[in-house]
Amino acid sequence: MVTPPLKDRLQSALGSAVVESQPMSVGFGLTGLIVRLEDGRRLAVKARTQPQNTGAHAGPSLELEGFMLSELKRLSDLPVPQVHVAAPDLLVMDFIDNDGGPITPAVERDAARLLSALHATPRSSFGYGRDTLIGPLPQPNPESARWIPFFRDHRLMHMAQAAHDEARLPAHLFGRVERLAARLDDYLSEPPFPSLLHGDLWTGNVLVRGDAIAGFVDPAIYFGHPEIELAFTTMFGTFGPAFFAAYEELSPIAPGFHDLRRDLYNLYPALVHVRLFGASYLGGIEGTLKRLGL
């Protein structure tokens, strides 16, 4: 149930009384609610109701999550919720009606259509005009002319260095990631242009209704290479053959992606998970580095 202080804040910000609330599952120590207002609106609420940790995993800035959602809505046709309130400790957005159904081949094909369109518009540089987040973790976005140096410095090595500093990534694995970083030009190529990315496409952030995508939530946006987004969709089996067949009909993928580059790009989210959830993700990192001969 919504607490009286939060209820008062919501009613003041939204201009309508809260008449019903129910819990909504959210992570990173936040309170999640689905609320119905007297004026008929149904909204999703994320709130930080406990004092914020000031350490490395302080928790996401809800203002920044709201910014990322608003940018996706402004710059694309991707189905994302409209944001109504975005403060550091409170995010209120439209509730996206969904049936919680499975990601079927039909849903995958719909996702391919949406993501191909998202990736198809050329952007001016890699990075973004503002740093963003992936989960609760900072994601630096200095605007950059080339993709490979951006990925090397501000994705792969940024996350590896932070994981090593936190004693989550052992020194021997950190050294192997460094050796890979020095050789990325051997494995990767520059895309034709930077593309807007959702940035955190796993099953929990994909909402389904029937045979279609109802919405995408919890983004980690920046301008980058579409292949890193495509790779992330395979990390937890979110999308499979039906998605890739449909995507390639609209936006061909360069040969070799599934053989090597997919796993290389997934080192970045794997390092994110090492920082957030610990050593169970180290084996996958070691396996990819071994495949690369490192």
Q: Write out the H or E segment, with its range, that includes residue 227.
A: helix 226-235
In the predicted model, what is the mean pLDDT of residues 56-74? 86
Are 197 and 72 in contact by the 8 Å Cβ rule? The answer is no
Task: Kindly state whether residue 30 falls inside one of the protein's structural domains.
Answer: yes
Contacts of 251 (CB under 8 A, 6+ apart): 116, 119, 120, 226
Domain end marker among 94, 126, 141: 94
- Judged by DSSP in three states, 195 sits in strand
123 and 217 housed in the same domain: yes
164 and 62 housed in the same domain: no
Q: Using 50, 70 and 90 to split pLDDT, how confident is the model at 55? A: low
Are 215 and 80 in contact by the 8 Å Cβ rule? The answer is yes
89 and 109 housed in the same domain: no
Task: Kindly state whether residue 206 falls inside one of the protein's structural domains.
Answer: yes
39 and 137 housed in the same domain: no
List, for residues 71-121, the tens digit of each pLDDT value: 999 999 999 999 999 999 999 999 999 998 899 999 999 999 999 999 999
Domain containing 29 — which CATH number? 3.30.200.20
Alpha-carbon distance of 35 to 119, in angstroms, equals 33
> Is 60 a residue whose pLDDT tops 80?
no
Percent of the chain with pLDDT over 90: 91
Task: Kindly state whether residue 209 falls inside one of the protein's structural domains.
Answer: yes
Are 289 and 176 in contact by the 8 Å Cβ rule? The answer is yes
Task: Kindly state whether residue 36 falls inside one of the protein's structural domains.
Answer: yes
112 and 72 housed in the same domain: no
List the catalytic residues: 200
Task: Kindly state whether residue 248 falls inside one of the protein's structural domains.
Answer: yes
131 and 77 housed in the same domain: no
| Parent domain of 11 | 4-94
Alpha-carbon distance of 125 to 193, in angstroms, equals 8
Task: Kindly state whether residue 222 falls inside one of the protein's structural domains.
Answer: yes
Task: Kindly state whether residue 241 falls inside one of the protein's structural domains.
Answer: yes
116 and 86 housed in the same domain: no
215 and 282 housed in the same domain: yes
Using alpha carbons, select from 215, 231, 253 the residue that is nearest to residue 77: 215
236 and 161 housed in the same domain: yes
Are 68 and 42 in contact by the 8 Å Cβ rule? The answer is no
139 and 267 housed in the same domain: yes
Task: Kindly state whether residue 78 falls inside one of the protein's structural domains.
Answer: yes
Domain end marker among 56, 73, 94: 94
List, for residues 173-213, the tens digit of each pLDDT value: 999 999 999 999 999 999 999 999 999 999 999 999 999 99
Domain end marker among 68, 94, 120: 94
88 and 220 housed in the same domain: no
Using alpha carbons, select from 128, 191, 115, 118 the residue that is nearest to residue 154: 128
In the predicted model, what is the mean pLDDT of residues 274-281? 96
Domain containing 245 — which CATH number? 3.90.1200.10
pTM of the model: 0.94
Can you list the positions of beta strands (E) in the chain?
Answer: 18-23, 31-37, 42-47, 83-87, 90-94, 132-134, 137-139, 195-197, 206-209, 212-216, 222-224
- Number of folded domains that form the chain: 2
211 and 284 housed in the same domain: yes
